[in-house]
Structure 1
Amino acid sequence: MVVSEDATITSKGQVTIPKRIRDELGLDAGTEVEFILEEDGTIRVRQKEPAMDRLRAIKEQLADRDVDVERMRRESKAEWESHYDGDEA
């Protein structure tokens, strides 16, 4: 089903997602959304996936490619720690 509604951008660059669209997508106050600009200039808006869900999906994709995620985590942590001298500014 295609749903089309008009909206106007405010002077602050804000736009209200029309109620009919919010209802179709199940978007409530406080829901985070992301805007995706396609190469052809089309803009898509969708509910933002929670960060932990995105990280789990990435971990699963890497596991399918025989990437040792835990080793990457350890190496990343060690690298960050090597840049931290223990003194806070």
Structure 2
Amino acid sequence: MTESTAPERDYRDTLFLPKTEFPMRAGLPKAEPEWIKRWDALGLYEKLRADAKSRGADPFILHDGPPYANGHIHLGTALNKII
């Protein structure tokens, strides 16, 4: 193979990268344990269950089968899980 002599292009000027004060990452691995502690302290799960019971709501049941029981895994398998 021959070496390419074309100079490498800096594509940063061709992209729209908005300037924002928000951090680029949410820091979820650090934030989630704090959220769970707060929800536990508030008794959030128990309140949600009590509310559902007081409204007479049926329990939520999700019947989700094996990931690829009808053949080999493919992109449709991922699409089915994402949607």
User: What TM bracket, shorter-length normalisation?
Assistant: 0.3 to 0.5
From the CA coordinates, give the structure whose radius of gyration is larger: 2
Q: Greater helix percent: which structure?
A: 2
Is the strand fraction higher in 1 or 2?
1
Relative to the length of structure 2, the TM-score reads 0.35
* Greater relative contact order structure (CA < 8 Å, 6+ sep): 1
- State the TM-score, normalizing by the size of structure 1: 0.33
